[in-house]
Amino acid sequence: MITKLKKLALSAGLCSLLSVPVLAGESGLVVGVMGGLGMLGTNSDAYGNLGIEYDWYENEKNNSSFVYGAKLGYDFYFQKEHAMRLYVDYTSGKYGMGDFITGDVNLNTFALNAEYRFDFLPIVGLFIGPNLHFTQFQTHPKVTRDDLFGDKNKVSFGFGGGIVLTPLSFLEVEGRIRYLNLGVGEKYTGALSDPDPNITRRSYEIDDPITFTLGVNLKF
């Protein structure tokens, strides 16, 4: 008897989910805010006299930051479950690198995004697509004479994707992962600025950032 009741309850739940009115599927203006976690990796090596690399010094770090931002765009539905998401957004993060050369790193990004959205359930959709971004890259070194990376403005590309829930016709909850091609490259310090007398120079490389955010969107 209990087993039959469980089966009936499960069937009723599935039927109610499938009978939910289609809340997505309408083109409209989208305004949203987001927040989450950013990851920025670094790699450094040390060299002694005659350019000999100290293998024991090689140092790799994954630095994290709270990131936040806002977006404005438009969803163009060309079929009931298929849409193009076109929007601009701004995100910002400050990464505490804990290093005497780079110091903290600030990333402020403006991006133009074009994403394909597929609503595979009445209230659940997936999206993926590229972006073109302008990123302001700022470092705060503790050794100013070797400001290796300095302040740079980078224009490059990236891509992102995620999942979006539409509990109400005007409300979306969105989870997103995004990669930005920063292209900062590898830099070398001079000998005079290093606190270790056995090291004549160091190499530093900053990886491309990845962000994981949760956002809330309003549709008009």
Q: Give the whole-angstrom CA distance, residue 198 versus residue 133.
A: 41
**Residue pLDDT tens, the chain, 220 long:** 545 544 545 555 544 444 444 455 789 999 999 999 999 888 778 787 776 777 666 677 788 899 999 999 999 999 989 999 999 999 999 887 666 556 678 899 999 999 999 999 989 999 999 999 999 988 776 555 455 677 778 899 999 999 999 999 999 999 999 999 987 777 777 655 566 667 777 777 888 999 999 999 999 9
Q: Give the whole-angstrom CA distance, residue 121 versus residue 89.
A: 26
Q: What is the pTM of this model?
A: 0.77
Domain boundaries, the chain: 2-219
- Going by CATH, does the domain composed of 2-219 fall within 2.40.160.20? yes
* Identity of the amino acid at 204: Y
Q: Give the whole-angstrom CA distance, residue 4 versus residue 10.
A: 10
Q: Give the whole-angstrom CA distance, residue 194 versus residue 188.
A: 11
